[in-house]
Amino acid sequence: MATRLNPVGDASLLDRLRATRQLTLDLAAPLSDADATVQPFPDASPAKWHLAHTTWFFETFVLRDHVPGHRPFDDRFAYLFNSYYEGEGDRHPRPKRGMISRPSLDEVRAWRAYVDEALDRAFRDLPADATALVELGINHEQQHQELFLTDLLATFAENPMEPAYADLPAVSCHAPESLAFLGGRQGIVEVGASEGEFAFDCERPRHQQLLHPHAIANRPVTNGEWRQFIADGGYSTPTLWLSEGWDWTKREGITAPLYWRGEDNSFTLAGRRPLDWAAPVSHISYYEADAFARWAGARLPTEAEWESFAAWSDPNLGNQLDEGGAVLPRPPGDIFGDVWEWTGSAFLPYPGFNPAPGTVGEYNGKFMCGQFVLKGASCATPRGHSRASYRNFFPPHARWQFTGVRLAKDS
């Protein structure tokens, strides 16, 4: 289980719970019921499902288990909106979430209001283990706020009308900062989350790792640099690619980052717009990031190298999600924000890892196979959610998230 900072009944925790729940509603405010029901592909979920699943999390793990006498809003919702928690029994198949036309979006909003009112009433009397679950639930919902936006982008990208979710500022006129490599720390370093602060179980225990001489780029790779990679035949040169990655590009017809339209446009949450060549490239897979690094005479940083590099940076800075609306990577960038950055490290348990007890222990540990770690935060990450020890993870072909790359080199 995650460690809590707040004592039982701490008003700041309740305030954060309310703010987090409200932000999800704000993100959904522009959507029709049809917008919120579509599922673009099996790995993405409808917007309505995100609103419902995060509500199921609080009703199940906090209200049902820790508030005597709580009556669920609708007993049928547990089957519909469980995600992957085997300990909670059978559930609706993930690839068919777009078939859940009912309950309606308004009915899901009513359920949210019912659960939020119950949480408000019960909050002052919750035991410590329940408030720890509230903290976990806040962070869980923040993850789904990012997924809400990225899944909605994937949904609207399938519509030939190329609809806009919200407005975005005009493309910037920035020139990118010159690419430079900065020497990283060497020798024995400590990585992972410290005790006494919130962290997911996969971020612990804090432990030592050995770093060899290396350097890390001062900024992420830009759209302009990716255009050079394409022009130089990057997607048609098999020697740049891992075997699985090369097979993937051929099978899927991959020739550019996801959502690029033609030579100089991309599809965004504000509809089609010109590419900003100085902005960090986004929506690239691990396979693409690795191939680009090889083309550039570099490599991907390891997770420990990246974490050590970012250890003294403020994770609350940078282009991250503050309120509802469209999001997009922008120049100039910070270490945190704009895009999640692929590392060359597999998502594996740290030495001494123990999953959280109970059903919530299915949250991270069972996915430690076939995934790679991303570090930092993106323009769709709620501000305050990330930290240097944070371990985002996706399979190597995934690219519908705001994923980019920062290069590293041996030195």
Confidence of residue 76 (pLDDT cuts 50, 70, 90): very high
Mean pLDDT of 164-171: 88
Look at residues 124, 141, 157 and tell me which one is the last residue of a structural domain.
157
Confidence of residue 170 (pLDDT cuts 50, 70, 90): confident
Mean pLDDT of 347-371: 93
Residue 152 shares a structural domain with residue 193:
no
pLDDT, one tens digit per residue, over 272-296 is 999 999 999 999 999 999 999 999 9
The pLDDT value given to residue 5? 34
The pLDDT value given to residue 9? 39
The pLDDT value given to residue 6? 34
Confidence of residue 174 (pLDDT cuts 50, 70, 90): confident
Residue 210 shares a structural domain with residue 99:
no
CB 397 within 8 Å of CB 287: yes
Residue 152 shares a structural domain with residue 195:
no
pLDDT, one tens digit per residue, over 200-230 is 999 999 999 999 999 999 999 999 999 999 9
The pLDDT value given to residue 252? 97
Residue 277 shares a structural domain with residue 332:
yes
Residue 185 shares a structural domain with residue 151:
no
Residue 215 shares a structural domain with residue 332:
yes
Q: How far is CA 61 from the centre of its chain?
A: 22
In a domain, 125, yes or no: yes
Indicate if the pLDDT at residue 128 is higher than 70: yes
Task: Give the Cα-Cα-Cα angle 342, 311, 340 (nearest 5 degrees).
Answer: 25
Mean pLDDT of 99-106: 98
Residue 205 shares a structural domain with residue 147:
no
Indicate if the pLDDT at residue 2 is higher than 80: no
In a domain, 1, yes or no: no
The pLDDT value given to residue 324? 86
CB 183 within 8 Å of CB 308: no
The pLDDT value given to residue 80? 97
Residue 22 shares a structural domain with residue 84:
yes
CB 222 within 8 Å of CB 333: no
Residue 395 shares a structural domain with residue 246:
yes
Backbone angles phi, psi at 113, to 5 degrees: -60, -40
In a domain, 394, yes or no: yes
Spatial distance between the Cα atoms of 256 and 283, rounded to a whole number of angstroms: 10
Confidence of residue 177 (pLDDT cuts 50, 70, 90): confident
In a domain, 360, yes or no: yes
Mean pLDDT of 48-76: 97
Mean pLDDT of 141-149: 98
The pLDDT value given to residue 1? 34
The pLDDT value given to residue 11? 52
Q: pTM of the prediction?
A: 0.95
pLDDT, one tens digit per residue, over 230-249 is 999 999 999 999 999 999 99
The pLDDT value given to residue 4? 33
The count of C-alpha atoms lying within 13 angstroms of the C-alpha of 120, restricted to the half-sphere facing its C-beta, is 10
Look at residues 157, 191, 214 and tell me which one is the last residue of a structural domain.
157
Q: What is the CATH number of the domain that holds 381?
A: 3.90.1580.10
Residue 106 shares a structural domain with residue 58:
yes
In a domain, 51, yes or no: yes
Average pLDDT of the chain is 94
- Percentage of the chain exceeding pLDDT 70: 97
The pLDDT value given to residue 317? 95
In a domain, 286, yes or no: yes
Q: What is the 3-state secondary structure (H, E, C) of the chain?
A: CCCCCCCCCCHHHHHHHHHHHHHHHHHHCCCCCCCCCCCCCCCCCCHHHHHHHHHHHHHHHHHHHHCCCCCCCCCCHHHHHCCCCHHHCCCCCHHHHHHCCCCCHHHHHHHHHHHHHHHHHHHHHCCHHHHHHHHHHHHHHHHHHHHHHHHHHHHHHCCCCCCCCCCCCCCCCCCCCCCCEEECCCEEEEECCCCCCCCCHHHCCCEEEEECCEEEECCCCEHHHHHHHHHCCHHHCHHHCCHHHHHHHHHHCCCCCCCEECCCEEEECCEEEECCCCCECCCCCHHHHHHHHHHCCCECCCHHHHHHHHCCCCCCCCCCECCCCCCCCCCCCCCCCCCEEEEEEECCCCCCCCCCCCHHHHCCHHHCCCCEEEEECCCCCECCCCCCCCCEEECCCCCCCCEECCCEEEC
The count of C-alpha atoms lying within 13 angstroms of the C-alpha of 39, restricted to the half-sphere facing its C-beta, is 17
In a domain, 167, yes or no: no
Range of the domain at 147: 11-157
Q: Which amino acid is at 320?
A: Q
In a domain, 164, yes or no: no
Mean pLDDT of 316-331: 93
Q: Structurally, how many domains does the chain consist of?
A: 2
Residue 144 shares a structural domain with residue 200:
no
Look at residues 96, 125, 157 and tell me which one is the last residue of a structural domain.
157
The pLDDT value given to residue 363? 87
Residue 396 shares a structural domain with residue 259:
yes
Spatial distance between the Cα atoms of 354 and 86, rounded to a whole number of angstroms: 18
CB 26 within 8 Å of CB 326: no
